[in-house]
Amino acid sequence: MFTGALGLHYGLENIGAAIVPSSTGNSEKQIMYMKDFGTTLLVATPSYALRLAEVALEMGIDPVKDLNVKIGLVGSELLTDSMREEVHKFWGKDMLVTSNYGMSELMGPGVSGECEYLDGMHINEDFFIPEIINPQTGEVLPEGEQGELVITCIKKEGLPLIRYRTKDITRLNYAPCKCGRTFCRMENLSGRSDDMLKIRGVNVFPSQIEEVILSFSELGPHYEIVVEREGYSDKLTIRVELAKSTDSFTELDNLTKSIANKIKIILGLDAKIKLESPNTLKRFEGKAKRIVDLRSK
Ligand SMILES: [Zn+2]
């Protein structure tokens, strides 16, 4: 399950909204719910919002005319301007599409979100104290400078976090906002200070993939992680070298399936595994560049 769902569930109950819990997938059923209940707010990753619209159209339901969704609260993936345009294309130009930010360690969704003026995500400063630091030195940077976001939770119980390094790179804006809210705003993330990847909204550390690869004696230590965009979804491909060449199709097929299965268990993601002959992948002097992220291209 997506951890964000629990935070939203109890938060929405708290404001008196009716909740219809639903697991991931089952897109047809979710669209039926949206139609039957006249749902006005959609909370999703931007790519799932697009996927839902596609499924609706396949079912003969026009998301703009036949559904009643007025606000799209999207998060967990970067919402670029072009992605926001795509969401409008499917859900109508009048839908308010806001970008939102949170992380499981801090309480899931709700750390910050855009208001109707779409000019940076207001950080809920009654809950969180934000700071921006230089990720190399740890020094606190002056207002408006770009650096790593560090957050202290003021009210969280059970797992208090003090000056927690999010590893997300952004900058803070303390200028007053047109909406009247006085909470500062953080701009869209421009990257990470570590090598974590977001694939289909799931946090992936290359070290997790490496651990799986190293657990197979049939594989060598050389690999490459390729992330691409296919339609509105991210596609993960892992290219890995065999330790020894083999011509046995059955052996290769079984090995591919076992690796994919182990990746699925650890990351919760489907990955395409491509086995390569020994000594075919690029070698590096110094720090290896094992991640090829083609999504922004
Ligand atoms: Zn505002």
Q: Output the pLDDT for position 297.
A: 63
- Which of 146, 152, 143, 151 minimizes the C-alpha distance to 175? 143
Among 94, 129, 160, the domain-final residue is 94
Domains contained in the chain, number:
2
| Residue 116 CA to ligand 1 centre (angstroms) | 7
| Residue 182 CA to ligand 1 centre (angstroms) | 8
Put simply, whether the predicted model's pTM sits higher than 0.85 gets the answer: no
- Which of 116, 113, 95 minimizes the C-alpha distance to 188? 113
- Per-residue buried b or exposed e for 255-274, using 16+ beta carbons within 10 Å of the residue's own CB: beeebbebbeeebebebebe
Residue range 180-195, pLDDT digits in tens: 999 999 998 888 888 8
- Tell me the pLDDT band of 176, cut-offs 50, 70 and 90: very high
140 within some domain: no
| Residue 104 CA to ligand 1 centre (angstroms) | 24
| Residue 112 CA to ligand 1 centre (angstroms) | 11
Query: Taken in order 190, 196, 202, 206, is the CA torsion positive or negative?
Result: positive
| Residue 185 CA to ligand 1 centre (angstroms) | 8
134 within some domain: no
Q: Output the pLDDT for position 123.
A: 98
CATH code, domain with 56: 3.40.50
pLDDT at 296 over 80: no
| Residue 98 CA to ligand 1 centre (angstroms) | 11
272 within some domain: yes
The residues whose Cβ lies within 5 A of ligand 1, an ion, are: 115, 177, 179, 181
| Residue 121 CA to ligand 1 centre (angstroms) | 8
Q: Output the pLDDT for position 76.
A: 82
164 within some domain: no
Q: Output the pLDDT for position 24.
A: 67
Residue range 59-100, pLDDT digits in tens: 999 999 999 999 999 988 778 887 899 899 999 999 999 999
Among 64, 94, 124, the domain-final residue is 94
Between CA 273 and CA 270 the distance in angstroms is: 10
Between CA 17 and CA 39 the distance in angstroms is: 11
CATH code, domain with 217: 3.30.300.30
Residue range 6-59, pLDDT digits in tens: 888 888 899 998 887 776 678 999 999 999 999 999 988 888 898 899 999 999
Among 59, 94, 129, the domain-final residue is 94
39 within some domain: yes
57 within some domain: yes
For residue 35, what are the domain limits?
1-94
5 within some domain: yes
244 within some domain: yes
Residue 140 DSSP symbol: B
- Which parts of 92-218 are beta strand (E)? 96-103, 108-114, 121-123, 128-133, 147-153, 164-170, 172-173, 185-186, 191-192, 197-199, 202-204
Between CA 49 and CA 207 the distance in angstroms is: 30
